[in-house]
Structure 1
């Protein structure tokens, strides 16, 4: 039985494929995840959101 892992998406990537990979893992729409991520980043004064995105980009394996 294959397990579903968290990976960056190549097929639906805009910038690195992090949000698309999270969306595929959760079974959500990638646009919704991107919108939630942008809103969360703005509400946290953008810097922590950008830093988390960069860390995820490096840490998540590619598809």
Structure 2
């Protein structure tokens, strides 16, 4: 069961063309991500959670 050379050459050429074209088809430039901004609200909220946890532990230990 021999495969004709013309079909092997045809598929080789198609494979080369697809290899060359596929990166070009997917070359989309995405917008850069915005820079992270912090106004200190997250830090304040973290400190508040820690203080509430300390108050809870102290209340548990005192009673």
Q: Under a length normalisation based on structure 2, what TM-score does the superposition of the two structures give?
A: 0.28
With CA pairs under 8 Å and 6+ residues apart, which has the higher RCO, 1 or 2?
1
Determine which structure has the larger helix proportion and give its number: 2
Compute the TM-score of the two structures, normalised by the length of structure 1: 0.28
